[in-house]
A = this chain, B = another copy of it.
Amino acid sequence: MDADIGNALATEAEPGVSEESLERLDDRVRRVHDRIERGIDDREFGYASLALPADADPGAIREAVAGFDPEAVLTVGIGGSALGAETVTAALGLEGHHTLDNVDPAETARLLETLPLERTLLNVVSRSGTTAETLANFLVVREAMASAGVDWTERTVVTTGDAGPLADLAAAHDLPTCRVPEGVPGRFSALSAVGLLPAAALGGDVEGVLSGGADGRAALSPSLFDCPAYAYGAVAYALEQRGATTNAVIPYAEALEPFAEWFAQLWAESLGKDGLGQTPARALGATDQHSQLQLYRAGRRDKLVTLLRPRERPDRAIPEPDVEDLSYLGGSSLGGLIDAEFEATEASLAVSGVPNVRLEVDRLDAESVGRLLYDVEAACVLAGELLGVPTFTQPAVEWGKRAARGLLGDDTEEAAAATEKTTLRVD
């Protein structure tokens, strides 16, 4: 990943960061880099995520999916147990990966009706083995397979922690099993079996993805001016401090749409603490120029816009138009058009003084995708250190989980609070 932070400088944008402030910030980056390096070396909780390119075992992933050769992979997981895997398969252009990451009965029914269950690999992912949504869907899919005469024990792989109901189940039925890595929060687990197993099952180059991650690891260095991941993380932090409390992420490639969701989880759950943290706003280029750009240019000055694209992509010529008004499209291509729109949007933000950063990868291949995921994780870890928040925990989601359990009949305190809603209803 390369980062161009020119349009985030105070000479260009408001809010913006001056070159002098960046120099000062670089002193902090140097110290934080030392902290991160130590965390990686010692495999400390969370920091261990940035060691995954070395620690993940692609052989074990390949072994778990060996012999399946599925037409479709159905991942049953939620949050960090699903988004990384979706991001990797989509970015690599691998067809056939479906995800059950919600408990919407209509969506579950739709998927079960359309998937060829006898040719589907069921991939169940939950560190604890007790995630309510995941286990509920797993029970439903098992039953549907049984009804269709498919032996689910022959079509299921499990990725889970050392112990828990899913680990027990896998042992009881001798299911191929991968381990959720120790010390790695779900949202940082894309470069492990959690994120890579579906890609491996669909013929993706998971070694290439890890090799790209290793390039990112090798590129971490003490100065933001030498390290694109830190340049991006430091600028996002500096701009948040100066009022850019929203980070609008716009990949210019449909295959990176799940990446924007993955980014949104990474950023929100890692940095949204103690009244701090940028709100990620997901968008897609060029489509959302016709949706969000008005706001980004003319709305509140509280946004950093992150533009992302592959520098090269397979292209398709636009046939010669038979209408004079459109003659400027003649001789161009869809790729030429999307690139022109990328640059035009970047410039239109710049002339309005809206801070923006350009991130680029060479192309959407395994190495570049691995590098991108690693670099954005490293940027997030750096931003968390600079903000001073506990990047790797997510305490604020626990209350709701206990309340939901209680509403379903378990005896929890939170359920009582949930039933005492203040109402002012208009109908």
Chain A residues engaging chain B, CB cutoff 8 angstroms:
2-7, 9, 11-12, 78-80, 83, 93, 101-109, 129-130, 132-133, 135-137, 139-140, 142-143, 165, 168-169, 186-187, 224-228, 231, 245-246, 248, 252-255, 261, 264-265, 268-269, 271-277, 279-282, 284-303, 313-316, 318-319, 321, 323, 325-326, 328-329, 331-338, 340-341, 343-348, 350-352, 394-397, 399-401, 403-410, 414-415, 417-419, 421-427
State the CA gap A417–B289 with chains docked (Å).
18
Cβ-defined contact, A296 with B272, below 8 A = yes
A162 to chain B, nearest CB (A): 15
Q: A268-B299, A422-B350 are in contact. Are A410 and B319 (CB under 8 A)?
A: no
Chain B residues within 8 Å of A290, by CB: 78-80, 186, 265, 397
Contacts A281-B279, A422-B350: A299 and B273 contacting too (C-beta < 8 A)? Answer: yes
Looking at the assembled complex, report how far the CB atom of A16 sits from the nearest CB atom of chain B, in whole angstroms: 11
Partner of A106, one of B93, B264, B277: B93
**A403 contacts B344, C-beta separation under 8 Å:** yes
Q: Give A243 Cβ to nearest chain B Cβ, in Å.
A: 11
Contact check: which of B93, B135, B277, B417 meets A329 at CB < 8 Å?
Answer: B135
Asked whether B265 lies within 8 Å of A291 as measured between CB atoms, the reply is yes
Given A104-B253, A300-B276, residue A426 in contact with residue B313 (CB < 8 A): no
Bound CA–CA A183/B410 (angstroms)? 55
Q: Is the CB of B140 within 8 A of A337?
A: no
How far apart sit A142 and B320, CA to CA, in the bound complex (Å)? Answer: 11
Q: Is the CB of A334 within 8 A of B293?
A: no
Q: Which residues of B contact A334 (CB under 8 A)?
A: 103-105, 108, 136-137, 140
Shortest Cβ-Cβ A-B pairs, 8 listed:
A79-B290, A272-B295, A272-B299, A347-B418, A344-B403, A268-B295, A265-B291, A2-B427
Question: Measured between alpha carbons, how far is A417 from B426 in the docked complex, in Å?
Answer: 50
Tell whether A422 pairs with B6 under 8 Å between CB atoms, given A103-B337, A130-B326. yes
Question: CB-CB < 8 A to A297: which residues of B?
Answer: 396-397, 399
A129 / chain B contacts, CB cutoff of 8 Å: 325
Contact A343 B418 (CB under 8 A): yes
Residues of B within 8 A of A78 (CB): 286-287, 290
Give CA–CA (A104, B328) in the complex, Å: 18
Bound CA span A103–B271, Å: 33
Which of B79, B332, B344, B425 is within 8 Å of A414, CB to CB?
B344
Does B350 lie within 8 Å of A400, measured CB to CB? no
Q: How far is the CA of A254 from the CA of B98 in the complex (A)?
A: 14
A298 to B261: give the CA distance in the assembly, Å: 20
Contact A337 B4 (CB under 8 A): no
- Cβ contact within 8 Å between A325 and B7: no
Residues of B within 8 Å of A224, CB to CB, are 426
Which of B227, B328, B423 is in CB contact (< 8 Å) with A409? B328
Contacts of A401 in B (CB 8 A): 344
Inter-chain contact B344/A426, CB cutoff 8 Å: no
Q: Chain B's nearest CB lies how many Å from the CB of A355?
A: 11
Q: How far is the CA of A225 from the CA of B332 in the complex (A)?
A: 55
Residues of B within 8 A of A350 (CB): 421-422
Evaluate contact between A6 and B421: CB separation under 8 angstroms.
yes
Contact between B426 and A2, CB atoms less than 8 A apart: yes
Q: With CB as the reference atom, state the residue of chain B lying closest to A393.
A: B294
B400 and A345 form a contact (CB under 8 A): yes
A222 to chain B, nearest CB (A): 13
Contact A347 B414 (CB under 8 A): yes
Contacting residue for A292 out of B5, B264, B288, B426, CB 8 A = B264
- Are A105's CB and B340's CB within 8 A? no
A279 and B291 contacting across the interface, CB-CB below 8 Å? no
